[in-house]
Amino acid sequence: MCNQDCSSRGFDNNSYYFLSNNLAQDYIFSTTSTSDKILILSKEHNPYILDSRVILPAGYTLQIGSGVVIVGEWDDSYLQVEGNLEINGTVDDPVYFTSARDKTVQDWYLSGLPSRLEVGEATPGDWGLIIVKPGGTMQADYTNFFYGGQTYRTGSCFSCFTENVIRNEGGHVILNNSNFDKLFVKDDYNNGTDSYILNGGNLEVNNSNFNNGYRAILSNKDTHVSVSNNKFSNFSFDSVSPVNVQDAILDKWENNVFENNKINNISLPTLNISEDYTLTTDYNDVYFNGINVSAGAIMTIMPGVNINLNENTWLKVEGSLQAIGTENNHISICPNQPKCSGLWFSNSQNNILSYVDIRNGGYHSNHTYPYLYLNYYSSLWLVNSQLAINNSSIMDSRRPSGFGICGVNSDLDIINSEFGWSADYPPPKYSNWIDGGIKINGGSLHLDNDTFLMMNYAVDASQGGEVTSENMSSTNFIDMYDVKYSLPNNIFSF
């Protein structure tokens, strides 16, 4: 395995296998027909002891076989990967990166090591981390990462420290069926990088469990990340989500479970849809930094889906939106966000909202009005678009100067739906405030048995547009201010 006495390192000769220094200089790597230089670790030589700084250089591969146990010699022990790290645990025989005092694996009785590793209980921070450098790769299957995360210095400045277990500085990391627990990571420094996994390159995490601590995954701006079928439990810090990938490029997000955390939701980056796409309940616990449906693409939203948008971000549709809930399983847009921009249809046709509830919309900034010459707040905007709505509600939009829908040169067909506010203003309230249901500028609007609550203008078509209605009477207008139904006032026949 190596061209030196692997147990010499200044300790008694207890036949320990050490990983130390530059592995290419101190260990014998086999050469294959493809000229790969490979070092294989097998469980027969457990435990392997990780020195304070171990380098796997570019052009070299370290293969860790099933059942291998690697423990830190020091609390700052770390492995720096510039080549290829392959960790090949199995469901019945996983690999461990853990503390030398972790008796749940085996009581090694590692005499001759630093005294701190001979006595006492295993403690978070008993070893450091794995660092993957640009060009380096790491693939781990069925691997348990326990008791790591000791503070690591990233530079010479006062606060140049971080706490990670896997620190990807520009490589490619794939983790499958792995466990992260009993780790040291906490919020010690103000650099905002403390997390079990810090991603600065490409990251894929599948079928893994993260338990207890400050934060599980943090992915930097413009990095790639894929997160599927994982469980995040017992993360207990205020205002810190277990996962932060808001500024990354999200390649995949699927079937992730958040359980018993202080915050059981996360913010995802903008979802850009350029081909037909179906949004499922997998996304119910996330906040999108916007959703864009490109021209030619169809976005389908399944029954029971909750879409949460961060403040000042839109679900913008230039393609087509098919949001079709059921009577017993509505679709909800912005159910948990007190300030949501809402939906924006631009040059978009063949759109349907059926059994859809939109709440708390209209909170867009002044420079993001979809139509600059119609400066009202609205939960739902249409510009040169078409939309059919049935059995839906648009309630509690931003006010005053707020509407449920603003349409410009667009066609609307609305059946059995509800617009308005669930409660009156707290005083004072001024008579010149405009609170409305639907405002159009050109185009057409057809109403059929729709209800308007707590507003002064159900429909404002004073800037033009054709309005038709059926099954509408005074009973469809509830708690109207000054009993003003529409502009102009002859839209309705009663």
Give the pLDDT score at 7.
Answer: 32
Q: Per-residue pLDDT for 255 more than 70?
A: yes
Residue range 403-429: mean pLDDT, rounded: 92
Instruction: Say yes or no to pLDDT of 186 above 90.
Output: no
Structure confidence at residue 10 (pLDDT): 30
Q: Provide mean pLDDT across the span 187-213.
A: 89
**Residue 200 near residue 164 (C-beta atoms within 8 A):** no
Query: Residue 16: pLDDT above 90?
Result: no
Lowest mean pLDDT among 371-380, 401-410, 484-493: 371-380
Considering only 126-130, 193-197, 250-254, which range has the smallest mean pLDDT? 250-254
What tens digit of pLDDT does each residue of 378-400 get? 999 999 999 999 999 999 999 88
Q: What is the model's pLDDT at position 19?
A: 93
Cα–Cα distance, 407 to 409 (Å, whole number): 7
Residue 104 binned pLDDT confidence (cut-offs 50, 70, 90): confident
Region 451-459: mean pLDDT is: 93
Q: State the Cα–Cα distance between residues 487 and 462, nearest whole angstrom.
A: 5
- Residue 5 confidence (pLDDT): 35
Give pLDDT, residue 11: 34
Q: Note the pLDDT of residue 187.
A: 63
Examine the pLDDT at 188 and tell me if it is beyond 90. Answer: no
pLDDT at residue number 481: 81
**Can you give the pLDDT at residue 185?**
82
Backbone angles phi, psi at 116, to 5 degrees: -65, -20
CB atoms within 10 A of CB 484: 16
Among the listed residues 85, 81, 115, the one whose alpha carbon sits nearest the alpha carbon of residue 100: 115
pLDDT band, residue 3 (cuts 50/70/90): very low
Q: What is the pLDDT of residue 112?
A: 61
> Rounded distance, CA 132 to CA 150, Å?
16
Residue 406 banded pLDDT, cuts 50, 70, 90: very high
> Helix (H, G, I), strand (E, B), or coil: what is residue 482?
helix
Strands (E), 257-355: 257-259, 266-268, 271-273, 277-279, 286-288, 291-293, 298-301, 306-309, 314-317, 320-324, 331-333, 342-346, 352-354
Biggest distance spanned by C-alpha atoms of the chain: 100
| Dihedral, 198, 202, 207, 210 alpha carbons, nearest 10 | 0
User: What sign for the dihedral angle of Cα 220, 306, 302, 300?
Assistant: negative
pLDDT computed for residue 2 by the predictor: 42
- How far apart are the C-alpha atoms of 424 and 454, rounded to whole Å? 7
For residue 464, what are its two tokens?
A: 């033009």
Nearest 5°: the CA angle 448, 450, 456 is 125
Confidence tier at 401 by pLDDT (50, 70, 90): confident
Tell me the C-alpha distance between 435 and 437, whole Å.
Answer: 7
Residues 6+ apart with CB under 8 A from 490: none
Distance CA 441, CA 371 (A): 10
Residue 166 reports pLDDT greater than 60:
yes
Is residue 129 very low, low, confident or very high in pLDDT (cuts 50, 70, 90)? very high
Mean pLDDT of 449-469: 94
Of 314, 372, 390, 391, the C-alpha closest to 345 is: 314
Q: Which has the closest alpha carbon to 406: 457, 339, 355, 350?
A: 457
pLDDT of res. 324: 98
Mean pLDDT on 480-493? 82
Query: What does the mean pLDDT of the chain come to?
Result: 89
Question: Do 54 and 85 touch, CB atoms closer than 8 A?
Answer: no
pLDDT band at 149; cut points 50, 70, 90: very high
**What pLDDT, on the 0 to 100 scale, is given for residue 176?**
98
Identify the CA nearest to 255 among candidates 234, 236, 227, 279: 227
Tell me 27's DSSP state: B
Per-residue confidence (pLDDT) for residue 454, from 0 to 100: 92
pLDDT per position as a tens digit, 279-313 = 999 888 889 989 999 999 999 999 999 999 988 88
pLDDT at 168: 98
What confidence tier does 1 reach under pLDDT thresholds 50, 70, 90? very low
